Amino acid sequence: MLLSDYDGTLTPIVDRPELAGLGPGTRKLLETLSRRRDLSVGIISGRSLTDLKQMVGIAGITYGGNHGLEIEGPRLSYLNPAAQELRPALGALHQALSDALGLIAGVWVEDKGLTLSVHYRQADEARAGEIGDILEQKAGPLQASGKVWIAGGKKVYEVRPALAWNKGEVVALLASRWRQAMGRDEVLPIFLGDDLSDEDGFRAVARLDGISILVSETNGASAARYFLRSPAEVESFLGMVLEARGGQ
């Protein structure tokens, strides 16, 4: 079972998320791997499900959007009901944050339906603290009531439903579904990721005796057992997986 994050893992981090398209080599490898009966392919991302499917566009694989709050794949469709209930509150928060942060150059707030992302990669680094303070102030009531929590990432803040659901839970769910589909007791999960939100996935893979891979220029503290330096090395790794499964 081959699972991967998208941004920063299969594609390089770019200034605008809509520019992070799959390279032709990586796309071809994923398409080829997805056609194998002895392998299941999935992409779990912080992007919305709709956005992720549009960016990847490969049939027959599993897509996990909003860190797995919404999932679609072969014989699988999942939408977290508690997250769905928070849509109106997050919509109102999106408007409040857009109004408050709209005057800071290089900042934009993305409404992903079940979560929000405050992007500040293009903003002045000196204003990062101010951006975080405004976010804490506006999201304060929802956070204090235990409905949402705020997570940091690579030049992004994310507002997510305060639920016991993360990429680790998604890995465990998909492993269970794959075991049932294959009629086998065990499955070898492989999970690749590059950011803090992927650490839950690494820990879940460790519990399943799988292969966890951090994609980073530096091998820092992580629950991942192995690491690759870049999406270019991920492409090479995918080629190795294909070769190990018998090539074309």
pLDDT band at 181 (very low <50, low <70, confident <90, very high): confident
Question: Given 5, 7, 194, 198, which residue is catalytic?
Answer: 5
SS3 label, residue 109 = strand
Examine the residue annotation and report whether 111 is marked as an active-site residue of this protein: no
2-80+165-244: CATH superfamily: HAD superfamily/HAD-like (3.40.50.1000)
Domain boundaries, the chain: 2-80+165-244, 84-161
CA gap 53, 127 in Å, rounded = 33
Q: What tens digit of pLDDT does each residue of 134-145 get?
A: 999 999 999 999
Mean pLDDT, rounded, for 161-174: 93
Tokens of 227: 């690491």
- Which of 142, 140, 110, 106 is closest to 125 using CA atoms? 106
Contacts of 123 (CB under 8 A, 6+ apart): 104, 105, 106, 107, 131
Per CATH, domain 84-161 is 3.30.465.10:
no
Q: What tens digit of pLDDT does each residue of 75-87 get?
A: 899 999 999 999 9
- H or E stretch including 211? strand 211-215
- Number of DSSP helices (H) and strands (E) in the chain, helices first: 8, 12
Buried-exposed string 36-61: b where 16+ CB fall within 10 A, e elsewhere: eeebbbbbbbbbbbebbbebbebeeb
pTM score over 0.75: yes
Q: Is 66 left (phi over 0), alpha (psi -120 to 50) or beta?
A: left
- Which of 86, 81, 47 is closest to 64 using CA atoms? 47
Q: What tens digit of pLDDT does each residue of 25-61 get?
A: 999 999 999 999 889 999 999 999 999 999 999 999 9
* Burial grade of 231 (CB within 10 A; 0-12, 13-18, 19 or more): buried
